[in-house]
Copies of this chain bind each other. A is one copy, B any other.
Amino acid sequence: MIVILKNDADKQKVEILAQWLQNQQVEIHKSVGEYTTVWGLVGDTSRIDTDLIEGLEIVEGVRRISEPYKQANRKFHPDDTVIDLGGGVKIGGGNFQFFAGPCSVEGEEQIIGIAESVKASGANVLRGGAFKPRTSPYAFQGMREDGLKLLLEAKKITGMPIVTEIMDASHIDLFEDVDVIQVGARNMQNFELLKELGKTDKPIFLKRGLSATIQELLMSAEYIMANGNNKVILCERGIRTFETATRNTLDLSAVPILKEKSHLPVVVDPSHASGIARLVKPMAYAAAACGADGIMIEVHNDPAKALCDGPQALTPEQFAEVTKGVEKIISAVKE
């Protein structure tokens, strides 16, 4: 970390800062120039909050040389992390996977029907919401425990591993037989939840928050990893911008950046980003073309019941078309 001091910095305050930094166990290498003084901080600077130092009156600027994340950092772990999602289904390191299923689990027939059809169309992991984060307290909050049971039933019948969202650390026990635990965008910085998930050995599917920077997503992954669980899958699902033609703006540049900065697998969810079924196919293709390790897509099997499932859901036939196209693109890119 580099700290640039102001020319006219008050000496006493500079001294206080120097002492404080030394208390944080970092060494200071000073370069005093004619016009400015630059300190190079050596040691473990990950616990130092650059915002705090940058805001000090005596400081002109601060620049991290090393990223504040370590375990998620490709520099210290050059090889791609490969994660077993259950049943031998692997993601990362060249393994591409499709996560598909309904937005919400609504009943036995529904979830098993969809599970079977997405499996037939190329999906490798079944998704489905049991606990649903809803903006309104009056909206359907998901089938909760009962939904989890139905997912496990679908898993038993189809053999597909399942991924489903957790909303509170106190529910972890309920997820014992779930293969992959999803952390939703709204809980990306629910740090108490991240810490507890770090103590499990489940793969964690971590969605980027609506206004989270790429670095903040990696820092949330680091929370899980720092607590002992290295199996984190990162998911880009759209950020909040001024544009209203789509529900959120899918930030596909995040894919190559995340792949460069981290060794963790990166999945794209084009369904939630746009909120429009017609955009799922082109954006899934784009995600595959720019290097994603997987795609999560909402699929429903019964158009007559589609309302509860969201306008962004595809039919199994549309999903099958997407899987085929994506595979062609992956081959084209690899060649």
Contact = CB atoms under 8 A, between A and B. Distances in A.
A26 to B, nearest CB: 12
A191 interface: yes
Q: A17, A223, A307 — which one has the most chain B CB atoms within 10 A of its CB?
A: A307
A70 to B, nearest CB: 8
Given A191-B134, A211-B210, A245-B213, A35 B31 contact: no
Contacts of A210: 211
Interface residues of A, number: 114
B38 A34 contact: no
Interface in A316-335: 325, 328-329, 331-333, 335
Query: So how many copies of this chain end up in the complex?
Result: 4
Contacts of A312: 55
A74 interface: no
A173 interface: no
Q: What are the nearest 10 A-B pairs in CB distance?
A: A55-B311, A211-B211, A31-B31, A289-B289, A286-B286, A168-B192, A282-B290, A285-B289, A186-B189, A328-B332
Given A167-B191, A245-B257, A325-B332, 17 more contacts: A2-B61, A4-B63, A35-B42, A38-B40, A44-B138, A57-B311, A60-B63, A133-B189, A136-B219, A137-B223, A138-B226, A187-B190, A209-B211, A246-B253, A257-B279, A282-B290, A289-B329
25 contacts: A16-B307, A29-B34, A31-B33, A34-B40, A52-B307, A52-B311, A54-B311, A55-B310, A57-B311, A60-B63, A60-B65, A136-B219, A137-B195, A239-B242, A239-B243, A241-B249, A241-B251, A244-B244, A256-B279, A282-B291, A285-B289, A285-B333, A286-B290, A288-B289, A289-B290
